[in-house]
Amino acid sequence: MGSRERRMVFVTVGTTCFDALVKAVDSEEVKEALLQKGYTDLLIQMGRGTYMPSRVFGNSTLQVDYFTFSPSIAEYIREASLVISHAGSGSIFETLRLGKPLIVVVNEDLMDNHQSELAEELADRNHLFCARPQSLQDTVSAMDLDTLLPYVPGDAKQVVTLINKFLGFPVD
């Protein structure tokens, strides 16, 4: 039997507890939707959560593994074919800068959910897909990665120059 191309989905919840996201990606429905899209591996960074996803190894199904924390997730993001992330701005922008397709899952349990505004705005601009834990399967099934537009960071030089002038610092 020939080896298949590895297409890994990396899931990150950051340093928080977001068991609803981990449970959602560990559901049979979401794993089946990922398989249908051609993904072969699912790696979950579960943070401080208490829900333990099921590890799966074998040839016939989605390979699933998990860990709690890592000093840096940049390498996991680089290796990923798709990233599913909490709505933290650091994780969002790191993934977008690396040019990876991204589904942001909003944690509705947060009291001041300013993160949803960022995720929804970037989704409206077609830089990522936005979901809730309960809608993740539908988002995976419906996503068309060809509709995503690359994120191009803004140039802050003009703002820096203006601030420097205002503060009386020399301007280059």
Residues with Cβ < 8 Å from 73, sequence gap 6 or more? 10, 12, 45, 91, 94
Query: Which pTM does this prediction carry?
Result: 0.88
Distances (CA, A) of 66 to 22, 25, 82, 96: 10, 11, 16, 22
Task: Count Cα neighbours of 171 within 13 Å in the Cβ-side half-sphere.
Answer: 12
Token pair of 106 as six digits: 């909003």
CA distances from 167 to 155, 157, 160, 172 (A): 20, 15, 11, 14
Q: Tens digit of pLDDT per residue, the chain (172 long)?
A: 445 689 999 999 999 899 999 999 999 999 999 999 999 999 999 999 999 999 887 666 899 999 999 999 999 999 999 999 999 999 999 999 999 999 999 998 876 667 889 999 999 999 999 999 999 999 999 999 999 999 998 887 888 888 888 888 887 7
